[in-house]
Structure 1
């Protein structure tokens, strides 16, 4: 099996998530940054994402999913960065074991805007577990929500 460098791996995983994960496509998520220090995704407002119809507010589940996805990105990137010259099959086996252990979301303001940006930074990146801090803003910089996620990475 061919070996891949970290950047090639991150590019392949990002492309996969952008084009082949049905739920992320449904929500319109696009990964815009993916490295061990920071993960980011963007998505556009569409009426299908309404949670509060009379007030036209983003559904809380979409907010939580965006934060969870951003946190997962930075957790996965840290795990990939620690691998020494992995084969594609070993990488896929490791990625298949990754998942969210715990997610806390604090909603600060109603989710209004045209574009939403979910970003995450790593708090702890260990061999088995990673912890990330996430934020959701709109295109004007309004801070809509933040969260903390704990992820299984090993």
Structure 2
């Protein structure tokens, strides 16, 4: 992937998609088959005010975005389309009120179906992992 394409994808991920901008998503690494992002913790991401831990739904939304970003990195045309078919998240540990690192990896790119695996880490410890299945339509 050339430098201009990476810069365009990073701008799209961080600035152009409103929910990503709201989350404060920052791309640390992006390739055609892998992405790593950092999301800073904010008080409005808390799911249980008694424990100050991340809301699982926000984590799932970010993991879906990570899987989708891999699809967008594989677009061959601006008219290509991507939509989520299935998303499964396993929460392995509580995510404390601190920043999270999310990674996504391409598992399979078929003619119409893309499969990704995603992970969420906090201080190097795996806190959640998931699998995304996406409908991928080339124009």
Which 4+ residue blocks in structure 1 deviate beyond 4 angstroms? none
How far is the alpha carbon of 1:141 from its aligned partner? 1.0
Larger Rg: 1
Aligned to 2:101: 117
Alignment pair present for 1:93 and 2:79: yes
CA deviation profile, 1:118-154 (whole Å, cap 9, x unmatched): 101111012311100100001x112110000011221
Alignment pair present for 1:108 and 2:67: no
User: What's the TM-score, normalizing by structure 1?
Assistant: 0.81
How far is the alpha carbon of 1:44 from its aligned partner? 0.8
Q: Is the 8 A contact 1:122 1:131 kept in 2?
A: yes
Greater share of helix residues, 1 or 2? 1
Aligned to 2:9: 13
Alignment pair present for 1:148 and 2:131: yes
Alignment of 1:1-154 (within 5 A): 7-77=3-73, 79-80=74-75, 83=76, 91-94=77-80, 97-138=81-122, 140-154=123-137
Greater share of strand residues, 1 or 2? 2
Q: 1:6 to 1:152 in 2, by over 3 A?
A: farther
Instruction: Give unmatched runs, 5+ long, in structure 1.
Output: 84-90
Give, in whole Å, the separation in 2 of the partners of 1:13 and 1:129. Answer: 21
Give, in whole Å, the separation in 2 of the partners of 1:101 and 1:124. Answer: 14
User: What's the TM-score, normalizing by structure 2?
Assistant: 0.89
Give, in whole Å, the separation in 2 of the partners of 1:109 and 1:65. Answer: 17
Q: Is the 8 A contact 1:75 1:131 kept in 2?
A: no
